[in-house]
Amino acid sequence: MIKKRLTEQGERLEQQTAKLNNARLAEFGSTQMQVIARTRIRTEYNCVAQDMVQVGEYLLFGYNVFMGLKRTSNIKDVLSLYRIIEPVDGGKGSSSNSETTTNTEYTLEEVDLAGTFLSQPAIVQDFNELYRYYKQTRLMQLTVRDSKLLLAFQIGERVSDIRVFRFALDFSDNIPKSAQVAYVDNRGERDIELPPAYDFAWIETTREQMVNGKFPHMNIMDTLFVETVGSDLTIKVENNTESGKGIYSEPVTDRTQSLTDAQIDYAKVGSLILLKILPYREDDYRYFVYNTLTETVLRLDAIGQLCVQLPENHGIIFPGGYYLQTGEHKLFDGKDAGASDLRFKRKIVSPNGEDVLFLFYDVALGVTGLFPYNIIKKQLANPIYCNGMALADSGRLVLFSAQSEPSRIHPM
């Protein structure tokens, strides 16, 4: 009877919230990520597109080209600027009775570098010296972070061998247009470093948390009790050392290990408790998510790569999917995109705060994964993978995926 009443109340609450949300949408409107146009960029030489970023009114496009027996050292052979020309009639088509031809497609018009921030003497000098002294130089990444435009070049065999050019960005109304993008120096290696893999701290268990008995275990915040003795890894919700049973268990390799032989770390994220466990004589950590609301455990090794929190304590997100406080979770397979080492890059919040775009980046491959999350619906849309993205203040996003062979035509 109590369950029936709670179910009925839940249904009424769901109807009321849906009605409120519909009224909100009718009043303020809503937008969805959708494809509005397809276009292309044509470069002078065959090249491999590498990255792209929005810089004020311009779209900065970067690529790597190999000409003859040596690399070029001309900025124009690595970087180009474009201006997006929007349809005159909003893409509705042109009238056959009109004497003039109406543009109904988005086009990318190349901008002469003369007089732009890429023609500043300091950047030209540093660029020419870079390609002259480091024969293996190639463009790696273009990004905007903390009011800085960063251009990263790989100068050695390792991905970590980089040189980063820095520009200061200031698009205030009182700043002259010629000074809005000012070259600073070529020492921005620290500025381009990616954030930590976790936006929370893992806490290592100590001997003070041991609870001895027939089946000893580690006490995690008086809520969870974990042990790896007796031939299996067991997770309990009761502080009971007389029984080796719990709500979750799985075998371990070494059956003779003691409680202190395993390394057990944990983290509290909202109503979730994350576990990071390395049993004795094993090489790989095991990761688990315990939901204090549903009292369920899910093994989720994908969070071992990285894991960050969703807004408003909704749960966690990682390159392979997400897990909500409600227990709902979804996993994605990013292998089709070729991205195997995605790391957290940043998150972008929409002006109305309803949508958050999480960006994960594979440094070696230059692949970016875009994970759009809606706070109201508590849903994560299918991720989009690309090699370059340019996001304008209007919300317009230009994307491209690199082609396997050098080409002059680059679809966007």
Give residue-wise pLDDT tens across range 173-194.
777 777 789 999 999 999 999 9
- Asked whether residue 35 is domain-assigned, the answer is no
In this prediction, residue 68 carries a pLDDT of 60
Beta-strand relationship, 367-374 and 321-324? unpaired
pLDDT digits (tens, 9 = 90+) for 114-156: 989 999 999 999 999 999 888 889 999 999 998 999 999 999 8
Cα–Cα distance, 258 to 408 (Å, whole number): 63
Q: Is there a single domain that holds both residue 54 and residue 187?
A: yes
**pLDDT of residue 51 exceeding 70:** yes
pLDDT at 165: 97
Together in a domain, 140 and 235: no
Share of the chain above pLDDT 70, in %: 92
Q: Is residue 13 part of a domain?
A: no
State the number of CA atoms in the 13 A half-sphere of 265 facing the CB: 12
Joined tokens for residue 143: 């990004």
Q: What does residue 22 show for φ and ψ, rounded to 5 degrees?
A: -65, -40
**pLDDT of the residue at 376:** 87
Same domain, 114 and 148: yes
- Over residues 6-30, mean pLDDT: 86
Based on the fold, state whether residues 295 and 221 are members of the same structural domain. yes
Give dist(CA 42, CA 181) in Å, integer.
25
**Residue 276: strand pairing partners:** 265, 287
Asked whether residue 321 is assigned to any structural domain, the reply reads: yes
Task: Render pLDDT for 205-223 as a digit per residue (tens, 0 to 9).
Answer: 999 999 999 889 999 999 9
- Say which amino acid occupies 398: V
DSSP, res 112: -
Q: Is residue 185 part of a domain?
A: yes
Whether the pLDDT of residue 400 is over 70: the answer is: yes
Residue 390 has pLDDT above 60, yes or no: yes
Task: Based on the fold, state whether residues 89 and 159 are members of the same structural domain.
Answer: yes
Residues 6+ apart with CB under 8 A from 215: 227, 229, 230, 234, 240, 241, 242, 243, 244
Residue 386 covered by a domain: no
Please give the pLDDT value at position 337.
55
CA-nearest of 105, 113, 145, 102 to 44 is 113
- Number of domains within the chain: 3
| pLDDT for position 203 | 97
Q: SS3 for 173-185, per residue?
A: CCCCHHHCEEEEE
Residues 122 and 66 in one domain: yes
Question: Do 120 and 143 fall into the same domain?
Answer: yes
Please check whether residue 1 lies inside any domain of the structure: no
CA 213 to mean position of chain CA atoms: 45
The answer to whether residue 25 sits within a structural domain is no
Give the pLDDT band of residue 61 (cuts 50, 70, 90): very high
Q: Are residues 53 and 148 in the same domain?
A: yes
Same-domain check for residues 299 and 311: no
Residue type, 53: V
Are 202 and 150 in a shared domain? no
Same domain (yes/no): 80, 185: yes
- Residue numbers of the domain that contains 107: 40-193
Counted residue by residue, the chain has a size of 412
85-94, 251-260, 290-299, 387-396: least confidently modelled range: 85-94
Residue whose tokens read 């929409």: 350
For the chain, percent of residues with pLDDT exceeding 90: 63
Last residue of a domain, one of 177, 193, 209: 193
Q: How far is Cα 122 from Cα 341, in angstroms, rounded to an integer?
A: 35
Task: Determine, yes or no, domain membership for 229.
Answer: yes
pLDDT at position 95 is: 40
Mean pLDDT of the chain: 88
Pick from 99-103, 220-224, 288-292: least confident: 99-103
**Which of 257, 275, 304 is a domain's end point?**
304
Output the CA–CA distances (angstroms, integers) from residue 399 to 16, 49, 134, 330, 331, in the order listed.
39, 11, 30, 25, 24
Residues 170 and 237 in one domain: no
The whole-number pLDDT of residue 198 equals 95
Please give the pLDDT value at position 44: 86
In which element (H, E) is residue 273 found?
strand 272-278
What region, left, alpha or beta, does residue 366 occupy, with left being phi > 0 and alpha being psi -120 to 50 degrees? left
Q: Which of 304, 339, 357 is the last residue of a domain?
A: 304
pLDDT at 99: 42
Distance CA 272, CA 224 (A): 11
Cα distance between the two ends of the chain: 58
Tokens 């909003």 found at: 90
pLDDT-derived band of residue 160, with 50, 70 and 90 as boundaries?
A: confident
Q: Do residues 345 and 194 lie in contact, with contact meaning Cβ atoms separated by under 8 Å?
A: yes
pLDDT for residue 93 is more than 50: no
